[in-house]
Amino acid sequence: GDSVTQMEGPVTLSEEAFLTINCTYTATGYPSLFWYVQYPGEGLQLLLKATKADDKGSNKGFEATYRKETTSFHLEKGSVQVSDSAVYFCALTIDQGAQKLVFGQGTRLTINP
């Protein structure tokens, strides 16, 4: 079945460090890929998305490129801030009509000043 695997957390970085959170997927069709972020005490929010191979999603300084050849959608940010501390979820959907999301396990990110 379809699945998403994220790098194990938690991840702790210093402010202004470079961030990479790895995400790989297995899907029978051609998925759309998403990164969601969950700040403390809040619901998940869509951070960025990519709907086809080689698409790059970007938002708030975060980027991820849909790599079909490696079945990956790694999240990157060049210089993290304390306010980026949150849990990040990689997800996919291949059923556009039903919009059913398959999530990775989440990666907790803590940024220290």
Q: Which stretch binds other proteins (CB under 8 A): 58-66, 67-75, 78-86, 94-102?
A: 94-102
Q: Which stretch binds other proteins (CB under 8 A): 11-19, 23-31, 56-64, 98-106?
A: 98-106
Q: Which residue in the set 12, 20, 26, 45 belongs to the binding site for other proteins (CB under 8 A)?
A: 45
**Any contact of residue 98 with other proteins (CB under 8 A)?**
yes
Cα 33 to chain centroid, rounded:
8
Q: Can you tell me whether residue 84 is helix, strand or coil?
A: helix
Number of residues located near other proteins, criterion CB under 8 A: 22
Tell whether the torsion through CA atoms of 42, 50, 59 and 88 is positive or negative: positive
**Any contact of residue 49 with other proteins (CB under 8 A)?**
yes
Q: Which residue in the set 62, 74, 89, 109 belongs to the binding site for other proteins (CB under 8 A)?
A: 89
Q: Which stretch binds other proteins (CB under 8 A): 14-22, 36-44, 55-63, 72-80?
A: 36-44
Exposed, middle or buried, 23 (CB in 10 Å: 0-12/13-18/19+)?
Answer: buried
Beta bridge partners of 6: 23
Q: Using an 8 Å Cβ cutoff, are 103 and 4 in contact? A: yes
